Copies of this chain bind each other. A is one copy, B any other.
Amino acid sequence: MCGVVGVYCDDETITSKIVYFTLYSLQHRGQESAGMAIFSDGEVRLHKGMGLVTEVFGGEILDKLKGNCAIGHVRYSTTGESRIENAQPILVKSKAGYLAVGHNGNLVNYAQLRAMLENEGRIFVTNSDTEVIAQLLSAFLMKFDIVESLRLLQEKLIGSFSLTILFNDVLIGYRDALGFRPLCVGETEFGYVVASETCALDAVGADKIRDVRPGEAVIVDRNGIEFVRIAESKRLARCVFEFIYFARPDSVIDGVSVYRARYRMGEILARESPVNSDLVSPVPDSGTTAAIGFSRESGLPYMEALIKNRYVGRTFIMPEQRLREVSVQLKINVVKENVEGRSVVLVDDSIVRGTTSRKIVDMVRRAGAREVHFRVGSPPIIAPCYFGIDMSTREELIASNKSVDEIREALNADSLAYLSLDGLLKAVGFKRCELCLACLTSKYPVPVPGEKTEPLS
């Protein structure tokens, strides 16, 4: 997963700082690398590195990155291999000028596009699908204007892509026609901000103008800001997992508060699968909001059975075999006094592999809980994501291979219930044809080789 931003600012000394603050507020979307491209004195300069935003942009780097127009990117480690070459933005230079691209999403037809372009004689420097986007777009921009080039780009690409683009001194934001990933635009006294989520607008005090619509581009240059419709789609495919887990709860996507959606998931779940118990506790931090909703609707007291260590670092060493068992409680610990002799409802947002859930149930039992009931704020995840969320293969997805009762047994829970798909749609407030639900239904909104495509109903 990734986060993208773009900034157009009247004061060239603070542009890079605004990019920095917005990236910082999108850090949850990617911790592997961070980068920025800025237009300065007729050329585009690039700075990127491995690590958190605060690590990559330490020292006096920001002071040196001057300009009125910039984009930024944070990247999530989806594979074991993490290389600086894959950090974004990707910058290319052609007859059309400088083009820097930051990409949130994943191309389903990357390999085909790459082979096609190589066959046409194109030469590549990275293994990233973003370079394919940059080369395609740069080629179009040599012949066509921005709007036409984006239209041609949309035609070529299959998959998800929310982009921020620097084309010389023009800032462009584009959200793919199905609208998989969020993208929004805000306004400050200094200029304009394009970002993956509204929490980035809040971080710099920007007022939200509106979400970029699926298939829409926002173009900012010295003449001001302009929204242009590039493509139309009969269906949309907003990623439902942004609402379930990925986005920050203080963000609002396409008019829907992520917090309120998660709260409603908990409320509806409580109605669908009530349980007679002593207390409701979240699995921290991901289950917190749904647990609050569940508690409110059910009337069961909200109480934290589990406490998370706030200092979980990235470089945790592997313990000895003899210590493996005892080290489970390093990241999450039980508040014994809250569970001893009681019946506890644990609420999480989702279950992927189920291994951590099992460990948590065991931990709560060992602390003396009488009963442990597990409630999940979303339906079972049964299929992989091809649109940017690293969700393991089908073999690893516990719900892909087991019935709910088998999962309950694997988790060692007294009861287990998932939110229904209808409940989820009600909580999120979008229609089925406006969302990508592929991970829950195994039917995909665009053709994916070897997978079923969801018919337009």
Interface on A for B, CB 8 Å cutoff?
11, 13-14, 17-18, 20-21, 24-25, 27-28, 31, 46, 52-55, 57-58, 62, 84-85, 90-95, 118-119, 121-125, 134-135, 138-139, 142, 188, 190, 199, 202-205, 248-250, 252, 257, 259-260, 263, 285, 288-289, 292, 295-296, 301-304, 307, 309-311, 313-317, 319-320, 322-323, 325-327, 329-330, 333-338
List the 7 closest A-B pairs by CB distance, nearest first: A205-B326, A54-B313, A257-B337, A27-B311, A95-B118, A250-B307, A94-B123
Name 17 extra pairs, CB < 8 A, besides A27-B311, A28-B311: A14-B323, A18-B323, A21-B323, A27-B309, A55-B313, A58-B315, A92-B125, A93-B123, A121-B142, A122-B123, A188-B326, A203-B326, A203-B327, A252-B336, A252-B337, A295-B302, A302-B302
Distance from A16 Cβ to chain B, minimum over Cβ atoms (Å): 10
A202:B329 contact, CB within 8 angstroms: yes
B250:A125 contact, CB within 8 angstroms: no
B307:A21 contact, CB within 8 angstroms: no
Distance from A195 Cβ to chain B, minimum over Cβ atoms (Å): 13
Distance from A60 Cβ to chain B, minimum over Cβ atoms (Å): 9
Q: Which of A249, A304, A322, A335 has the most CB of B within 10 A?
A: A335
Tell me, in angstroms, the Cα distance from A297 to B250 when the chains sit together.
Answer: 27
A296 to chain B: which residues have CB within 8 Å?
301-302
A330 to chain B: which residues have CB within 8 Å?
21, 24-25, 203
Copies in the complex: 4
Which of B54, B95, B319 has a CB less than 8 Å from the CB of A17? B319
A118:B91 contact, CB within 8 angstroms: no
Tell me, in angstroms, the Cα distance from A212 to B34 when the chains sit together.
Answer: 44
Q: Which of A122, A123, A337 has the most CB of B within 10 A?
A: A123
A327 to chain B: which residues have CB within 8 Å?
21, 203-204
If A92-B123, A257-B337, A301-B296 touch, does A317 touch B62 (CB 8 Å cutoff)? yes
If A118-B94, A135-B123, A337-B260 touch, does A302 touch B292 (CB 8 Å cutoff)? yes
Tell me, in angstroms, the Cα distance from A333 to B260 when the chains sit together.
Answer: 15
Can you report 26 A-B residue pairs in the complex whose CB atoms are below 8 A from each other?
A17-B319, A17-B323, A21-B327, A25-B333, A46-B85, A52-B311, A53-B311, A54-B313, A55-B313, A58-B315, A92-B125, A93-B124, A95-B118, A95-B121, A123-B139, A199-B307, A202-B334, A203-B327, A204-B326, A204-B327, A249-B304, A252-B336, A257-B335, A288-B304, A289-B304, A292-B304
Distance from A48 Cβ to chain B, minimum over Cβ atoms (Å): 10
Tell me, in angstroms, the Cα distance from A18 to B323 when the chains sit together.
Answer: 8
Tell me, in angstroms, the Cα distance from A316 to B20 when the chains sit together.
Answer: 11
Instruction: Report the nearest B residue to A124, measured CB to CB.
Output: B93
Instruction: Report the nearest B residue to A313, measured CB to CB.
Output: B54
A92 to chain B: which residues have CB within 8 Å?
123-125
Distance from A317 Cβ to chain B, minimum over Cβ atoms (Å): 7
A11 to chain B: which residues have CB within 8 Å?
322
Distance from A55 Cβ to chain B, minimum over Cβ atoms (Å): 7
Distance from A376 Cβ to chain B, minimum over Cβ atoms (Å): 20
A315 to chain B: which residues have CB within 8 Å?
54-55, 58
Distance from A244 Cβ to chain B, minimum over Cβ atoms (Å): 16
Tell me, in angstroms, the Cα distance from A309 to B316 when the chains sit together.
Answer: 21
A317 to chain B: which residues have CB within 8 Å?
20, 54, 57-58, 62
B329:A310 contact, CB within 8 angstroms: no
Instruction: Report the nearest B residue to A119, measured CB to CB.
Output: B95
If A92-B125, A307-B248 touch, does A257 touch B14 (CB 8 Å cutoff)? no
Instruction: Report the nearest B residue to A74, measured CB to CB.
Output: B311
Distance from A110 Cβ to chain B, minimum over Cβ atoms (Å): 14
A248 to chain B: which residues have CB within 8 Å?
307, 333
Tell me, in angstroms, the Cα distance from A325 to B203 when the chains sit together.
Answer: 10
A250 to chain B: which residues have CB within 8 Å?
307, 333-336
